Chain A
Amino acid sequence: MLEIKNLHASVEGEDEQILKGVNLTINKGEIHAIMGPNGSGKSTLAKVVSGHPEYEVTEGEILFEGEDVTELDADERAHLGMFLAFQYPIEVPGITNRTLLRESYNTIARENDREELDPLEFDDYLKERLEVIDMKDEFLERSINTGFSGGEKKKNEVFQMAVLNPKLAFMDETDSGLDIDALKIVSDGINKIAGPENAIVLITHYQRLLNYITPDYVHVMMNGKIVKSAGKELALELEDQGYEQLEKEFSVNGEAQ
Chain B
Amino acid sequence: MSETQALESMIGEEYKYGFSTDVEYEDFPTGLNEDIIRELSARKEEPEWMLEFRLKAFRAWQEMEEPDWFNATYEKPDFENIQYYSAPKNKPKLDSLDDVDPKIKETYDKLGIPLEEQKQLAGVAVDAVFDSVSVFTSFKEKLAEAGVIFCSISEAIQNHPELVKKYMGSVVPARDNFYAALNSAVFSDGSFCYVPKDTVCPMELSTYFRINNMNSGQFERTLIIAEDNSHVSYLEGCTAPMYDEHQLHAAVVELVAMDDAEIKYSTIQNWYSGDEEGKGGIYNFVTKRGACRGKNSKISWTQLETGSAVTLKYPSVILQGDNSIGEFYSVAVTNKKQQADTGTKMIHIGKNTKSTIISKGISAGRSNNSYRGEVKINKGADGARNYSVCDSMLIGQECGAHTFPYIESKNPTASVEHEASTSRVGEEQIFYLMQRGISEQDAISMIINGFVKEVLKELPLEFATEANALLDVKLEGSVG
A92 surroundings in chain B (CB, below 8 A): 429, 432-433, 446-447, 450
Q: Please tell me the number of chain B residues within 8 Å of chain A, measured between CB atoms.
A: 23
A149 CB to nearest B CB, Å: 18
B451 surroundings in chain A (CB, below 8 A): 93-94
Contact A90 B429 (CB under 8 A): yes
A51 CB to nearest B CB, Å: 8
Q: Please tell me the number of chain A residues within 8 Å of chain B, measured between CB atoms.
A: 30
A52 CB to nearest B CB, Å: 6
Interface flags for B1-32 (1: CB within 8 Å of A; 0: not) read 01000000000000000000000000000000
Cβ-closest chain B residue relative to A146: B450
Residue of A54, A75, A83, A104 near B427 (CB, 8 A) is: A54
B359 CB to nearest A CB, Å: 15
Residue of A53, A74, A78, A95 near B450 (CB, 8 A) is: A95
CA A84 to CA B431, docked complex, whole Å: 11
CA A136 to CA B35, docked complex, whole Å: 73
Contact A73 B437 (CB under 8 A): no
A93 CB to nearest B CB, Å: 5
Q: Kindly state whether residue B236 has any CB partner on chain A within 8 Å.
A: no
B434 surroundings in chain A (CB, below 8 A): 51, 73-75, 78
Q: Kindly state whether residue A187 has any CB partner on chain B within 8 Å.
A: no
Interface flags for A70-96 (1: CB within 8 Å of B; 0: not) read 000111011100011010011011110
Cβ-closest chain B residue relative to A143: B450
A215 CB to nearest B CB, Å: 23
Query: Which residues in chain B, 418-441, are within 8 Å of chain A measured between CB atoms?
Result: 427-429, 431-440
Cβ-closest chain B residue relative to A82: B435
Contact A160 B433 (CB under 8 A): no
Query: Which residues in chain B, 447-480, are within 8 Å of chain A measured between CB atoms?
Result: 447, 449-454
Q: Kindly state whether residue A103 has any CB partner on chain B within 8 Å.
A: yes
CA A143 to CA B446, docked complex, whole Å: 12
Contact A164 B437 (CB under 8 A): yes
Contact A103 B438 (CB under 8 A): yes
B396 CB to nearest A CB, Å: 15
B429 surroundings in chain A (CB, below 8 A): 90, 92
The listed residue with most A CB atoms (<10 A of its CB), out of B2, B432, B446, B451, is B432
Instruction: Please give me the 6 A-B residue pairs with the lowest Cβ-Cβ distance, nearest first.
Output: A94-B450, A78-B437, A74-B434, A90-B432, A95-B450, A104-B436
Q: Which residues of B contact A (CB under 8 A)?
A: 2, 427-429, 431-440, 442, 446-447, 449-454
| 28 cross-chain CB contacts under 8 A | A51-B435, A53-B427, A54-B427, A73-B434, A75-B435, A75-B437, A75-B440, A78-B434, A78-B436, A78-B437, A84-B435, A86-B432, A89-B432, A90-B429, A92-B446, A93-B450, A94-B450, A95-B446, A99-B446, A100-B433, A103-B438, A103-B442, A104-B436, A104-B437, A104-B438, A107-B438, A143-B450, A164-B437
A75-B437, A104-B437 known; 16 other A-B pairs, CB under 8 Å? A51-B434, A75-B435, A78-B436, A79-B437, A89-B432, A90-B431, A92-B450, A93-B451, A94-B453, A95-B447, A95-B449, A95-B450, A103-B436, A103-B442, A103-B446, A143-B450
